Amino acid sequence: MTFKEFEEYLDANLGSKRIFFEKAMDDQIRRNARRQPAKRWNEAKLERAVDRMWTDMARSIYDKFKITIKAKSSDPYQEWVEFFEKNDAIENLDEMMTDLEFE
Protein backbone atom coordinates (compact mmCIF):
# COMPACT_ATOMS: atom_id res chain seq x y z
CA MET A 1 0.00 0.00 0.00
CA THR A 2 1.40 3.37 -0.95
CA PHE A 3 1.09 6.38 1.31
CA LYS A 4 -1.55 7.88 -1.01
CA GLU A 5 -3.57 4.66 -0.84
CA PHE A 6 -3.16 4.67 2.93
CA GLU A 7 -4.52 8.23 3.14
CA GLU A 8 -7.46 7.27 0.94
CA TYR A 9 -8.10 4.21 3.11
CA LEU A 10 -8.10 6.41 6.23
CA ASP A 11 -10.45 8.88 4.55
CA ALA A 12 -12.88 6.07 3.77
CA ASN A 13 -12.61 4.11 7.02
CA LEU A 14 -11.48 6.35 9.87
CA GLY A 15 -14.55 7.85 11.50
CA SER A 16 -12.58 10.10 13.81
CA LYS A 17 -10.83 12.12 11.09
CA ARG A 18 -13.37 14.89 11.58
CA ILE A 19 -12.61 14.91 15.32
CA PHE A 20 -8.89 15.24 14.59
CA PHE A 21 -9.54 18.21 12.30
CA GLU A 22 -11.77 19.91 14.88
CA LYS A 23 -9.22 19.46 17.67
CA ALA A 24 -6.33 20.52 15.45
CA MET A 25 -8.20 23.63 14.29
CA ASP A 26 -9.02 24.57 17.89
CA ASP A 27 -5.32 24.19 18.71
CA GLN A 28 -4.31 26.36 15.75
CA ILE A 29 -6.85 29.03 16.72
CA ARG A 30 -5.44 29.12 20.26
CA ARG A 31 -1.91 29.43 18.89
CA ASN A 32 -3.03 32.13 16.50
CA ALA A 33 -4.60 34.15 19.31
CA ARG A 34 -1.21 34.26 21.04
CA ARG A 35 0.47 35.75 17.98
CA GLN A 36 0.83 39.47 17.67
CA PRO A 37 -2.09 40.93 15.71
CA ALA A 38 0.03 41.74 12.66
CA LYS A 39 1.38 38.18 12.53
CA ARG A 40 -1.90 36.30 12.94
CA TRP A 41 -2.77 33.81 10.27
CA ASN A 42 -5.86 34.02 8.11
CA GLU A 43 -8.37 31.17 7.84
CA ALA A 44 -6.73 29.67 4.76
CA LYS A 45 -3.34 29.47 6.45
CA LEU A 46 -4.92 27.89 9.54
CA GLU A 47 -6.59 25.27 7.35
CA ARG A 48 -3.31 24.51 5.56
CA ALA A 49 -1.61 24.08 8.94
CA VAL A 50 -4.30 21.62 10.05
CA ASP A 51 -4.04 19.73 6.74
CA ARG A 52 -0.28 19.52 7.23
CA MET A 53 -0.78 18.23 10.80
CA TRP A 54 -3.07 15.49 9.44
CA THR A 55 -0.60 14.53 6.71
CA ASP A 56 2.30 14.44 9.18
CA MET A 57 0.31 12.28 11.58
CA ALA A 58 -0.81 9.93 8.79
CA ARG A 59 2.76 9.68 7.47
CA SER A 60 4.05 8.78 10.94
CA ILE A 61 1.44 6.04 11.36
CA TYR A 62 2.05 4.77 7.81
CA ASP A 63 5.78 4.52 8.44
CA LYS A 64 5.18 2.51 11.62
CA PHE A 65 2.77 0.15 9.86
CA LYS A 66 5.13 -0.19 6.90
CA ILE A 67 7.83 -1.58 9.18
CA THR A 68 5.39 -4.11 10.65
CA ILE A 69 3.60 -5.17 7.46
CA LYS A 70 5.89 -7.07 5.15
CA ALA A 71 3.81 -6.83 1.98
CA LYS A 72 5.44 -9.40 -0.26
CA SER A 73 2.28 -10.96 -1.60
CA SER A 74 0.89 -10.50 -5.08
CA ASP A 75 -1.63 -8.02 -3.61
CA PRO A 76 0.16 -5.81 -1.04
CA TYR A 77 -2.88 -3.53 -0.67
CA GLN A 78 -5.03 -6.46 0.44
CA GLU A 79 -2.30 -7.57 2.83
CA TRP A 80 -2.47 -4.17 4.53
CA VAL A 81 -6.27 -4.34 4.73
CA GLU A 82 -6.10 -7.81 6.26
CA PHE A 83 -3.56 -6.57 8.80
CA PHE A 84 -5.87 -3.68 9.74
CA GLU A 85 -8.83 -6.01 10.14
CA LYS A 86 -6.95 -8.71 12.05
CA ASN A 87 -5.43 -6.20 14.49
CA ASP A 88 -8.39 -3.81 14.83
CA ALA A 89 -6.00 -1.08 13.68
CA ILE A 90 -8.65 1.32 12.41
CA GLU A 91 -10.72 0.94 15.58
CA ASN A 92 -7.60 1.62 17.65
CA LEU A 93 -6.76 4.68 15.55
CA ASP A 94 -10.32 5.93 15.99
CA GLU A 95 -9.96 5.58 19.74
CA MET A 96 -6.58 7.35 19.71
CA MET A 97 -8.01 10.25 17.69
CA THR A 98 -10.93 10.60 20.09
CA ASP A 99 -8.56 10.74 23.07
CA LEU A 100 -6.03 13.00 21.34
CA GLU A 101 -5.23 16.30 23.04
CA PHE A 102 -3.09 19.11 21.72
CA GLU A 103 -0.95 21.17 24.04
Q: What is the pTM of this model?
A: 0.85
Nearby residues of 1 by Cβ (< 8 Å), 6 or more positions away: 9, 69, 71, 76, 77, 79, 80
> Is pLDDT of 46 > 90?
yes
pLDDT at 68: 84
Structural domains of the chain, count = 1
pLDDT tens readout for residues 25-43: 999 999 999 999 999 999 9
Give me the domain span that covers residue 75: 3-99
